[in-house]
């Protein structure tokens, strides 16, 4: 049975984690079939996504056969970690894999996929912003495996990584979905439009928020105050979102219409015109929301 907190009409997710932690629809599924636990993978790209997911593949029982990257040093380093071979050109592409995962920058993706020429082997890309059809000339079977998470090669701990899938055929979708379920307790289907919207949401919630952390840290350094003093506040603000809507926990002088305090802040920010503009813009947005 599905445990529903909030459901999105076009994005459905399945998983085994406690549903109350996520505003998504979860279903308790049977274990992923055995055949999806021993897939042979080629990683094209040696960046953050392929590094983190490559490690998870090996832990899940899959075999990474090869890592291909324009930077042979990076390819060799990741390949050594995953017990795979390394190459710096698509002409050396191993043709014996079950799945080829292309994870490169969005700007490089069109050129890279032109060099991926297979017959029926499954090819996937990992970006939220590129359409499924960008892979149409790479193979008869293709799809998307999009990790909705901020990933870095060197992470202190492994985060939960929701994986959203799409494919050009139901059969390919089945394989990618089962593969995703072997890597993550949270999986779901998202077509091009839904995936792009998720990507926009991720930029707003993560990238823009982290930029504000950067601004706060730089301000603290210039004013000789400890940014570390803000960390408990940052952590508490994020923790509240497990249980409350962001709108219900908005605090600060803007939401209180406290113009006296806002004016005092602007006086402090006078030496920083760009930060002043940002403060004014965000304050106005909160007041008018």
**Lookup result for tokens 């055995």:** 34
pLDDT mean over 32-49: 85
H helix or E strand, kind and range, residue 64: strand 63-68
**For residue 104, how far is the Cα from the chain centroid?**
13
Pick the CATH number of 196-288 from 3.60.60.10, 3.10.580.10, 1.10.3720.10, 1.10.1040.20: 1.10.1040.20
pLDDT mean over 175-197: 97
Average pLDDT of the chain to the nearest whole number: 90
Confidence at 146, pLDDT banded by 50, 70, 90: very high
Report the pLDDT value the prediction gives residue 33, as an integer from 0 to 100. Answer: 55
Taking each helix axis from N to C terminus, what angle separates 48-59 and 72-82, rounded to the nearest 10 degrees? 20
pLDDT at residue 3 tops 50: no
Lowest mean pLDDT of 11-15, 42-46, 170-174, name the range.
11-15
Report the relative pairing of strands 163-167 and 186-189 from DSSP bridges.
parallel
Report the pLDDT value the prediction gives residue 16, as an integer from 0 to 100. Answer: 38
pLDDT at residue 34 tops 90: no
* Percent of the chain whose pLDDT exceeds 70: 87
Contacts 24+ apart (CB under 8 A), 214-217: 215/275, 215/278
SS3 164: strand
Bridge partner residues of 8 (DSSP)? 11
Report the pLDDT value the prediction gives residue 5, as an integer from 0 to 100. Answer: 28
Confidence at 236, pLDDT banded by 50, 70, 90: very high
Confidence at 168, pLDDT banded by 50, 70, 90: very high
Judge residue 246's burial from the number of C-beta atoms within 10 Å of its C-beta, 0-12 exposed, 13-18 middle, 19 or more buried.
exposed
Taking each helix axis from N to C terminus, what angle separates 259-268 and 273-288, rounded to the nearest 10 degrees? 160
pLDDT at residue 110 tops 60: yes
Report the pLDDT value the prediction gives residue 210, as an integer from 0 to 100. Answer: 98
Domain residue extents for the chain: 31-190, 196-288
Residue by residue, DSSP assigns 200-241 as HHHIIIIIHHHHHHHHHHHHHHHTT--GGGGHHHHHHHHHHT
**For residue 233, how far is the Cα from the chain centroid?**
24
CA distance 181 to 57: 11
Instruction: Give the pTM.
Output: 0.87
Tens of pLDDT, residues 245-275: 999 999 999 999 999 999 999 999 999 999 9
pLDDT mean over 89-114: 97
- How far apart, in Å, are the Cα atoms of 171 and each of 40, 140, 168, 249? 18, 11, 9, 44
pLDDT at residue 6 tops 80: no
CATH superfamily name and code, 31-190: NAD(P)-binding Rossmann-like Domain (3.40.50.720)
Cβ neighbours of residue 273 closer than 8 Å, sequence gap 6 or more: none
pLDDT at residue 289 tops 90: yes
């Amino acid at each position: 049975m599905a445990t529903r907190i909030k459901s999105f009409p076009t994005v459905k997710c399945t998983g085994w984690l406690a549903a109350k932690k996520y505003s998504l629809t979860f279903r308790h599924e049977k274990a992923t079939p055995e055949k999806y636990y021993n897939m042979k993978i080629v990683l094209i790209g040696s960046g953050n996504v392929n590094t983190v997911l490559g490690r998870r593949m090996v832990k899940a029982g899959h075999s990474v056969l090869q890592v291909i990257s324009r930077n042979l040093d990076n390819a060799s380093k990741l390949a050594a970690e995953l017990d795979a071979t390394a190459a710096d050109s698509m002409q050396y592409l191993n043709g014996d894999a079950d799945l080829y995962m292309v994870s490169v920058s969005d700007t490089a993706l069109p050129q890279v996929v032109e060099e991926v020429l297979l017959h029926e082997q499954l090819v996937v890309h990992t970006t939220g912003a590129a359409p499924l059809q960008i892979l149409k000339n790479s193979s008869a079977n293709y799809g998307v495996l999009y990790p909705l998470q901020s990933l870095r090669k060197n992470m202190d701990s492994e985060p939960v990584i929701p994986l959203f899938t799409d494919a050009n055929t139901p059969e390919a979708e089945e394989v990618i979905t089962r593969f995703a379920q072997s890597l993550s307790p949270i999986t779901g289907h998202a077509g091009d439009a839904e995936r792009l919207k998720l990507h926009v949401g991720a930029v707003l919630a993560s990238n823009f928020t982290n930029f504000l952390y950067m601004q706060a840290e730089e301000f603290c350094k210039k004013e000789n105050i400890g940014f570390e003093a803000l960390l408990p506040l940052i952590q508490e603000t994020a923790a509240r979102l497990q249980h409350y809507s962001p709108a219900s926990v908005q605090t600060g002088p803007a939401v209180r219409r406290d113009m006296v305090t806002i004016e005092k802040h602007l006086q402090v920010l006078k030496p920083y015109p760009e930060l002043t503009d940002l403060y004014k813009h965000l304050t106005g947005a909160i007041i008018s929301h």
